[in-house]
Structure 1
Amino acid sequence: MHALTPLRSVEAGRLAISYHEAGPADGPPVFLMHGFPYDIHAFAEVIPRLAEAGCRVVVPYLRGFGSTRFLDASTPRSGEQAALGADLLALMDALNIPRAVLAGYDWGGRACCVVAALWPERCAGLVSYNNYNIFNHARALEPDTPANELKLWYQYYFQSERGREGLRRNRRALARLLWETWSPTWVFDDATFERTAPAFDNPDFADVVIHSYRHRFNLVPGDPAYAAIEQQLAAQPAIAVPTISFDGADDGVRPPAPASAHAARFTGGRDHRVVPGAGHNLPQEKPALFAEAVLELVRRG
């Protein structure tokens, strides 16, 4: 259960992005993107599988996580989906990687979907957890079923100043509670959680998280720097690259959806799979399965 080291850092867009890299420098590139409230260690058992298969594997800390930092104190601490996608694109540019397989879940999966939809020439293939993971702001205030609304308690909590302060004070306890409820069949030990928990000590963590969940309900403005991207995403653009999408059968926050529910959003060929015994953190719960999906797309070229 060792921490992923060494870490590298590169200036990319508005961030100094901290990332782990493995595998041959001339191998087919793969970006692995973590979610909230997780970190790069979600891919600890995926990375060696891909590296051993000859892939160049890049695993960054998202904005607000780990040792990734904003370059300018005046930059808004936005957590909106356009910012996450722009960060991934900027990292690809900074590393001079023109095209890669993009794989992620939760926030990281959303970043991958944004790049795949808006810059398909940069995406050789997409592994997306929870299907089409671009948020539809036009439907943000439409109620869900009571059972599904209950699962989103943390999002409503974060709309209040009580929730902001609760996240600041209790970030580790809150994250662990979400791990347990979102992946009810995943048995992890203290050491596994404690390997990730320092990622939440980032000084921008709470601000980025709170903005993310308030912005998705249209309750706070986005960063004007990403307004053009958000406008494009509002059209719910199709993803025209080869895709493997997943849902976990035991996901405690996003119930599995049939392939037909998102079929119109994928125009480049897509295989949807529901994984028995998996919750929300698929790469850490089922690393061999996640790695094999990535390699399927790498082999397609």
Structure 2
Amino acid sequence: MEIKAGGFTFDVHVAGPEDGVPVLLLHGFPQDHREFDLILPRLHEAGLRTYALDQRGYSPGARPADVADYAITMAADDAVAVLDALGIEKAHVIGHDWGAQVSWVLAAAHPERLHTLTAVSVPHPRGLAVALRNQPSQRARFAYMKIFQSPVAERILLARDGAVLRRLMRPIGPRAAMYARAMAEPGRLTGALNWYRALSGRHLAGVGSITVPTTYVWSDGDPVVGRPAALSTATWVSADYRFVALRGIGHWVPEEAPKALAEVALARIGV
């Protein structure tokens, strides 16, 4: 469905029992709501109603032109506005990659809107900041961001029918081509890359301790986030907290290990 919220129109993909407890799903780059397709059947079987949001830059009706309009705090505000428009007072939240980053900001700023949080791959931003400051290996893992922030990123990523994007997502097999094709839509890749271009420590410095029950899922084959950054998240959650480390899995957890992720999320949700 199309949801008008915060001056934009967002695509929200709704499924599951109509009377089910709501779960808001927040995707990462370079994916969209479809990255959760493989875990949805299990969530629906458990009686949950799912709302998978195509975030700003990805929904055609939510592509502002200015880089400054892609600040992470604005994406968190989008999530609140969408919940308001849907008439949902409180939801369980599952976020992956950038969606995890949004979910940390959302949980810190609006804990009253979350039952629980399941953050996947990307740790609490304050813990990540410490790892980036103290761990050269973590800084090296983030070197790709300079390319994504550059003015030639679109040309690099879309060249040869999205070859770089497809190679980046090789672990998820044929699904990678699906996302690469979607990024060829006019304006979509620029909107998605503007999240990187707008990234600022100023927006993340105020993200405080998380006070809602939280599970953080990390995978030991993730080329983006190292173990020290992952372990640092425990410092920033003051509620019930679980750290789940998946073995032999890369960055694309919802599609590389959907069964495991679904069960971890359900355990956090409590159904």
TM bin, normalised by shorter chain, reads 0.7 to 0.9
Structure 2 counterparts to residues 1-301 of structure 1, below 5 A: 8-65=1-58, 67-70=59-62, 78-130=69-121, 132-134=123-125, 142=133, 144-145=135-136, 147-167=137-157, 169=159, 172-180=162-170, 186=171, 188-190=172-174, 192-216=175-199, 230=203, 233-257=204-228, 260-299=231-270
Offset at residue 140 of structure 1 (A): 11
CA distance in 2, matches of 1:252, 1:234: 24
Secondary structure of the corresponding residue to residue 2 of structure 2: strand
8 Å CA contact 2:132, 2:138 repeated in 1: no
Secondary structure of the corresponding residue to residue 278 of structure 1: coil
Corresponding residue pairs, total: 271
Offset at residue 91 of structure 1 (A): 1.0
Structure 1 or 2: more helix by fraction: 2
Offset at residue 15 of structure 1 (A): 2.1
8 Å CA contact 1:61, 1:68 repeated in 2: no
8 Å CA contact 1:13, 1:90 repeated in 2: yes
CA distance in 1, matches of 2:104, 2:97: 11
CA distance in 2, matches of 1:244, 1:265: 12
Offset at residue 17 of structure 1 (A): 0.8
Offset at residue 197 of structure 1 (A): 2.9
Offset at residue 293 of structure 1 (A): 2.0
8 Å CA contact 1:41, 1:195 repeated in 2: no
Offset at residue 167 of structure 1 (A): 3.9
The share of aligned pairs that are identical, in percent, is 30
Q: Relative to 1, partners in 2 of residues 1:136 and 1:266: Cα closer, same or farther, differing over 3 Å? A: closer
8 Å CA contact 2:101, 2:122 repeated in 1: no
CA distance in 1, matches of 2:131, 2:249: 27
Q: Relative to 1, partners in 2 of residues 1:170 and 1:91: Cα closer, same or farther, differing over 3 Å? A: farther
Offset at residue 271 of structure 1 (A): 0.4
What is the TM-score normalised by the length of structure 1? 0.79
Q: Relative to 1, partners in 2 of residues 1:257 and 1:150: Cα closer, same or farther, differing over 3 Å? A: closer
Unpaired segments ≥5 residues, structure 2: none
Q: Relative to 1, partners in 2 of residues 1:280 and 1:152: Cα closer, same or farther, differing over 3 Å? A: same
Superposed CA offset, 1:218-250 (max 9, x none): 6xxxxxxxx9xx3xx422311000011111110
Secondary structure of the corresponding residue to residue 267 of structure 1: coil
Superposed CA offset, 1:137-175 (max 9, x none): 987984852x44443332111343233543465683232
Structure 1: which amino acid aligns with 2:253? L
Offset at residue 136 of structure 1 (A): 8.0
CA distance in 1, matches of 2:158, 2:81: 28
Secondary structure of the corresponding residue to residue 70 of structure 1: coil
CA distance in 2, matches of 1:103, 1:143: 28
8 Å CA contact 2:157, 2:163 repeated in 1: no
8 Å CA contact 1:137, 1:217 repeated in 2: no
Offset at residue 214 of structure 1 (A): 2.8
Offset at residue 53 of structure 1 (A): 1.1
